[in-house]
Amino acid sequence: MEIALDNLSKHFGKVKAVDEVSIKVPDGEFVALLGPSGCGKTTLLLMLAGIYKPTTGTIRFGEKVVNDLLPKDRKIGMVFQSYALYPHMSVYENIVFPLRLQRLPANVVRDRAHKMAELVQVQGLLDRKPGQLSGGQQQRVALSRALIKEPDLLLLDEPLSNLDAKLRIAMRAEIKRLQKDLGITTIFVTHDQLEAMTMADRIALLNNGKLVAYSQPHDLYDRPKTLFAAEFIGSPPMNFLRIRIEEKDGGVALAGEGIQMPLAGEIAQKVKSLGGGREVILGIRPEDITVATDSGDAKAEVYIIEPLGRDMLVDLHVQATPVRVLAPPTFNAPIGASVALTMDRTKIHLFDPQTEQALLN
Amino acid sequence: MPNRLRSAIPYVLLILLTTPILVGYLWLFISSMSARTYGLRPEGLTLENWRFLVEPIRSRPSIWQVLLSTLAFAIPLGLLDVTISSMAGYALSRLRFPGRRMFLSFTIVLHAFPSATLLIAIFFVLRAIKLYDSILGVVLVSVSLGLPLGIWLMKGFYDNVSWDIEMAALIDGCSRLRTWWSVVLPIIRPGLAALLIFSFLGGWGAYIIPYTFLVTATIQPISVFLQSLTGDYTFVNYGVVTAVGLFQLLPVLLFYLFTQRYLLNLYSGGMKGGA
């Protein structure tokens, strides 16, 4: 089912928890609401669930405006961060609870429960109480309870954040697969950009209740439209350097403290059009910088090296500005060594320091 | 062994503190079984004091009639108290409505209010609504006086139930009422049980209210009956008094033995309340 939010706002007193958000979620897509804590993503989810009533704006499920529809009439399933299983009911009773409320015939309930239990692999746990399950098992039960009534919309509120790291990666793939198999329109809330990147078809990035970006993960990663998006997406995060656009002898270069980065070709034209002498913020991801011993765009000093196995995460200082670089595992320079950094010209981002908007795309 | 000595200290203290109480119980038991006592030393072991079980004491109603009246008072008291407290507690914990804060503060104030000062006023009210000298009347009065504590305790239990569970139930297809009944109430069942027991035992031992508002001997509960044995102008037979006292006490002790697990909930889980 297609979901459309139109200028949706939720105010709590003077606080604008959600501020004029408009999003369209195509049928069957998996959308992540991403943002730091307190950005309004959970409030938005609870409005979709019908727990909160929007202050202004509309929520449409398909063609229908559902603003005033009670949660029970919305045909949605939801998984909570705490799982919110009913502690006094067995796993089986938890799973069939939504069907019991629909007064479906006993054999239908039983069949669907067993099919569901098989799908999320909790067949052996049906007689247990939630308190006797591990976090991962509780999550599977919560998921099957949300899915058993075959909802039009599945809502997931930080579903993975209570799991340990290994299980989280496994469940990430499993939930994504399940969503694709069932084709249920799904909206999930997370503060973990990696989770959003790996699982979602589209990411809605929120900050202070406002929608900052809404696009596909690779688009958000490759062409962030604001400084906030560039900062928030990616791990280790993007590096930012204060620089000035310099025009010299017809050529153009980015210059800053310890940085002298001549440009050529298409990118040079683009930068030139921004105006010489202008102060901007240069953004570049750790994987788009190479470290060499001879010469490059910037001189840097090795601060510390963190081996990640597949790569080396090298923390450097360009004058006083910290810069992180992903180097090949063969990289070995002692702490304090002077090195030179070369930046991939096709991967640089420029931002206006005042408006924080991207200048190049 | 200084370590063993140290761990023994709490026991020694507890034993010292409970000895007077235990001696009291012991005397009660001995006295009810003997014609007379010299301190804890009985003289003339007899079951004569327990005759009240089979035959009424002088002109008084039979003990079984008294027991029935006591139950007719304590059981409705417990049930009503739990029913109303569980509903009011939910509203105060979960719903927003004008006057909520004031209601909460009032609950605390009323709980601390000495109920004895209200006796005369209550008398006039009961007489006006024609419930003076009726069990229903004392039940209503006792429930009202018990509600502040009950509501506050229930609110504390509800406060500990996560919102997520309630939201999950709403999304799964419950109405608000159904959510309360099928999901939230079962979760706070230990609290309900504790309040029920607490309130029932309060009714079982209640004295001032029934003594003041019940004058017909056949509907008076056991505590008033017990008092009547000592309040006579005739010679007080302490053997009988202790026997009746023990008769009143035994069910309570047994009750505590089997339900203290629930009662402890009142003190551990229930007091996390707050406005």
* Domain range summary for chain A, segments of one domain joined by +: 3-232, 239-351
pLDDT tens-digit map of B56-72: 877 788 889 999 999 99
Closest CA to A136 of A113, A161, A156: A161
Smallest CA–CA separation between B113 and chain A, in Å? Answer: 36
The answer to whether B170 contacts A50, with C-beta atoms less than 8 Å apart, is yes
With cut-offs at 50, 70 and 90, classify the pLDDT of residue B151: very high
The answer to whether B162 contacts A102, with C-beta atoms less than 8 Å apart, is no
Give the closest of B167, B183, B187 to A51, CB-based: B167
> What pLDDT does B1 receive?
60
Average pLDDT over residues B214-220: 88
- Fold category of B72-221+249-268 in CATH: MetI-like fold (1.10.3720)
- Fold category of A239-351 in CATH: OB fold (Dihydrolipoamide Acetyltransferase, E2P) (2.40.50)
Chain A contact present for B183, CB below 8 A:
yes
> What pLDDT does B232 receive?
61
> What pLDDT does B270 receive?
44
pLDDT tens-digit map of A227-236: 999 999 988 8
Average pLDDT over residues A48-56: 92
Average pLDDT over residues B211-217: 89
> What pLDDT does B138 receive?
94
With cut-offs at 50, 70 and 90, classify the pLDDT of residue B271: very low
> What pLDDT does B266 receive?
66
Q: In 3-state terms, what secondary structure has residue A11?
A: strand
- The region that residue A263 occupies, defined by phi over 0 for left and psi between -120 and 50 for alpha, beta otherwise, is beta
Chain A contact present for B79, CB below 8 A:
no
- Fold category of A3-232 in CATH: Rossmann fold (3.40.50)
ipTM of the complex: 0.83
> What pLDDT does A239 receive?
93
- Res B273 pLDDT > 50: no
Bridge partners for A253 per DSSP = A246, A262
Closest CA to A302 of A235, A231, A293: A293
The answer to whether A84 contacts B164, with C-beta atoms less than 8 Å apart, is yes
* Domain range summary for chain B, segments of one domain joined by +: 2-46, 72-221+249-268
Chain A contact present for B185, CB below 8 A:
no
Closest CA to A206 of A358, A350, A23: A23
pLDDT tens-digit map of A158-217: 888 888 888 888 888 888 998 998 899 999 999 988 889 999 999 999 999 899 999 999
- Cα-Cα-Cα-Cα dihedral sign, residues B22, B23, B26, B32: negative
> What pLDDT does B275 receive?
35
Residues 6+ apart with CB under 8 A from A10: A16, A17, A18, A40, A43, A44, A47, A52, A54, A55
pLDDT tens-digit map of A59-115: 999 889 999 999 989 999 999 988 999 999 999 999 999 998 988 898 999 999 998
Closest CA to A149 of A199, A184, A122, A201: A184
Q: In chain A, which residues have their Cβ closer than 8 Å to the Cβ of B183?
A: 86
pLDDT tens-digit map of A325-352: 999 988 888 888 889 999 998 899 999 9
> What pLDDT does A211 receive?
92
